[in-house]
Structure 1
Amino acid sequence: MDLLLENGLVYQAGQLQKMDLLIKDGKIAAFGHELGMFLSDIKKFDLTGKLVSPGLVDVHVHYREPGFTYKETIKTGSQAAAHGGFTTVCAMANLDPVPDTPDKLAKVIEKNKKDGVVNIKQYAAITEGLKSEKINDLLALKAAGAFAFSNDGSGVQTAGTMYQAMKLAASLDMPLVEHIEDNSLLYGGVMNEGERAHELKLPGMLGLSESSQLARDLILAQKTGVHYHACHLSTKESVELMRLAKSKGINVTCEVAPHHLLLSDEDIPKDDAYFKMNPPLRDKEDKKALLKGLLDGTIDMIATDHAPHSHDEKIGGMCQASFGITGSETAFTLLYTHFVKTGKMSLEQLLDKMSVEPAKAFKISDAGQLLIGKPADIVVFDLNQEYELKEEDYLSKGTNTPFTGEKVYGKTIMTFVNGKCVYQRED
């Protein structure tokens, strides 16, 4: 059945306007005013006072299937994405088996299509088994449907391997997406190296492990011409390096995760594994630099790095627990509450960084904007009613986030993928 979304505040072509949106055969058919006067046999939704946005785009999620389905499945991960307003997500390759051959990749892609309730793009691994030695057959992986190449979860440690992988990816016109981390500079750290780590008597992680490898990769990207995308920037030095690279015309993009924008290591109240993620929460100056970089365009987009874990993997202290934090269901609402409602950024800026810009950077032509003839991938938010983030409301298997219990605005009301409602709030 065709659908009419009436009286919403619609974000379209860079502007917020009160109007109707018609969905016909799964696609956006028309924008206008009082369209219902001319239509019959159609399902109508009165969205007065609600925001109607392009479905959000997340280029960085971990769905754990195959291999780790006790943490998350494709079904639960994609349901969580829909709950958070995301209609297109890009799933990382740190699975078991790793999708490092065409056959393994094809099986994951088939499962994504079968079980996913949102559009799922699948990364293929850069190297065999996510090690730093043997580069995979990237041409065959592209032919098998790879969205891009990434070893996220493991930085490529060998410069020669990275250089050759970049050359191959560039020749295939494919993005190379990197978890930037020099393992030789980690020293067993579990949180940011600094005063708070010393107070909690926990081993620290140097920001240098990120920025030094980023510097290496940016030089290699300049030489090879590859589209290089840096995952989850967390330090002020990384922001400066990225700013310099862009000023020199290097073909680079980057992302920042919501938790790095919202928290610093000073916010860690105790040895609590829900605050353990990689990269770790950095200091206040890093947090300020990340927001500044996001607002001035140095950082292209926001990506959640949704990384669910089981309860058992997150109990006890940081030294024993797994790295990672969930984000699909909390990202928009937290950022809207902390940044838009406080005047630190506009609603348009937030929507751009969570929909338009990621789709543009990765050339995802059917996502990120509301355009006539395009798939009706749409999210409806209630920006006015305050509510509390509760574990029992999460659709992800993972509840590993320190934001549970916060009072926020921007609740998802409905999410549509190809005109089909894949999430609807239960009143």
Structure 2
Amino acid sequence: MAERRLSIQQGRIIDPATGLDQINDLHLIGGRIVAIGAMPDGFEPQRIIDATGLVVCPGLVDLCARLREPGLEHKGTIESETRAAAAGGITTLCCPPDTNPVIDTPAVAQLIRRRAKTRGQARVLPVGALTKGLAGLQISEMAALKEAGCPAVGNADRTISNTRVKRRALEYAATFDLTSFLHPADHDLSEGGLVHEGRVSTQLGLPGIPEAAETVAVARDLALAEQTGARVHFRGLSTARATEMLAEARSRGIAASADVSAHQLFLTEDDLYGFNANAHVIPPLRTQRDRDALRAAVASGAISAICSDHRPHEPDAKLAPFPQTRPGISALETLLSLVLELVADGVMNLSSALARVTCNPAEILNRTTLGRIEVGARADLCLFDPNERWRPTPEHWLSQGQNTPFFGRELHGRVRYTLSNGRLVYERA
């Protein structure tokens, strides 16, 4: 049962959007923040949470998390994966359009939102398909998708080879003020590749995906963004050169943004040794130089968001010989801890790091009411212990997919409570 009147006392409240950073109290009524500081007159909380020693920040906003429903429920469901999201402090997440059926009609978008509302522990925002069936041939009915609750459109990991179709799709999306999520990969250069083309791919005898597969796609899409005036967002950059291209384009006023998957900030191609299937991801893990450049771009703001890029799989998907394994990491429950590890590593301060998973992704979605702590705002909150150390284990994993390379690794910071619309959706004793 949701706590409709709740006080959170003596937590360190950090709101990157407003610069708030102070030890204080929060008071909630009916899913909204009604006061910061003194308790309002006549306010009688049904529950008090002692947040001493905890950080209270906005609920995390994740720009890419595959929930596998509808169509691939043997890998995950809206119920199981949003439960894992809540355990990771995530209160809003975007579901890519490559479900089955594809999110290219209002009916599918509404189905996902309805199931999330009745079964989920986090807000699910479906990303509409940029082209019908993700086939890259005809643009989708974007006006109807926006009306059905899609804040953005994209083609998931499917490339749009026809540049004319892509231009028209971006123009059409701009007409409805929709952000276009773009997968930066040239199909012809990346087709058949499994890992980064370089030293490790040669040593392991695995087909590679060259850096140019990403940079060629980024160059084309930046040119189209400049031509059309569309608002584009690169979903999952992985190379140093691509970050340089993005920063240069942004300096010229092109409306482009990007995110990076959290694992790309910690893992490199060296983690593939031993044919580690849990390090098989798309885009592939790149070099140490690329990893360092991605960290620098996140710190500078050239890359403004960090996402989980959550892709849960059934066990068999990672047990075959490496070329037959499926790419992806189950990543919702480690997102916040990896972001906090960047703080521990001195990459950026705590407020800046939290901005990459709260107000910044909300701004990319043009949903600026999310990712904030202020009077009148939704009470989407994450309370975490920044000093706790923990090691993820299969026994305590909530996602249906246990495909993560971070099992057994000591991580920084752990969620204690998560509130969505004022409702306590996760509590760890």
Secondary structure in structure 2 of the residue aligned to 1:61:
coil
Q: Which amino acid aligns with 1:61?
A: A
CA-atom RMSD in angstroms:
1.5
What are the ranges of 5 or more consecutive residues in structure 2 without an aligned counterpart?
none
- Are positions 1:310 and 2:314 aligned together? yes
Q: 2:425 aligns with which of 417, 422, 425?
A: 422
Task: Note the C-alpha offset of 1:89.
Answer: 0.7
Task: Note the C-alpha offset of 1:301.
Answer: 0.7
2:34 corresponds to: 29
- In structure 2, C-alpha distance between the alignment counterparts of 1:168 and 1:286, rounded to whole Å: 34
- In structure 2, C-alpha distance between the alignment counterparts of 1:367 and 1:128, rounded to whole Å: 29
Task: Note the C-alpha offset of 1:138.
Answer: 1.6
- Are positions 1:233 and 2:237 aligned together? yes
What TM-score do you get using the length of structure 1 for normalisation? Answer: 0.96
Contact 2:104/2:131 (8 A) holds in 1: yes
What TM-score do you get using the length of structure 2 for normalisation? Answer: 0.96
Q: 2:22 aligns with which of 17, 24, 31?
A: 17
- Are positions 1:292 and 2:296 aligned together? yes
- In structure 2, C-alpha distance between the alignment counterparts of 1:357 and 1:308, rounded to whole Å: 25
Stretch deviating more after TM superposition (315-324 or 88-97):
315-324
Matches for 1:33-52 after TM superposition, within 5 Å: 35=39, 39-52=43-56
- Equivalences, count: 424
2:225 corresponds to: 221
- In structure 1, C-alpha distance between the alignment counterparts of 2:412 and 2:350, rounded to whole Å: 13
2:400 corresponds to: 397
Contact 1:15/1:348 (8 A) holds in 2: no
Q: 2:60 aligns with which of 51, 56, 60?
A: 56
Deviations 1:264-322 (A, max 9, x none): 11232311110000001000111111111111111111111111111101113320101
Task: Note the C-alpha offset of 1:20.
Answer: 0.7
1:349 corresponds to: 352
- In structure 2, C-alpha distance between the alignment counterparts of 1:167 and 1:211, rounded to whole Å: 22
Contact 1:4/1:36 (8 A) holds in 2: no
Matches for 1:117-196 after TM superposition, within 5 Å: 117-196=121-200
Q: Which amino acid aligns with 1:22?
A: H
- In structure 2, C-alpha distance between the alignment counterparts of 1:37 and 1:341, rounded to whole Å: 41
- In structure 1, C-alpha distance between the alignment counterparts of 2:150 and 2:231, rounded to whole Å: 15
- Are positions 1:82 and 2:90 aligned together? no
Task: Note the C-alpha offset of 1:36.
Answer: 9.5
Identify if the C-alpha distance between structure 1 residues 36 and 374 changes in structure 2 by more than 3 Å, giving closer, same or farther. Answer: closer
What are the ranges of 5 or more consecutive residues in structure 1 without an aligned counterpart?
none
Secondary structure in structure 2 of the residue aligned to 1:184:
helix
1:274 corresponds to: 278
Stretch deviating more after TM superposition (138-147 or 1-10):
138-147
Matches for 1:378-389 after TM superposition, within 5 Å: 378-389=381-392
Q: 1:95 aligns with which of 86, 93, 99?
A: 99
Identify if the C-alpha distance between structure 1 residues 133 and 361 changes in structure 2 by more than 3 Å, giving closer, same or farther. Answer: same
Contact 1:55/1:86 (8 A) holds in 2: yes
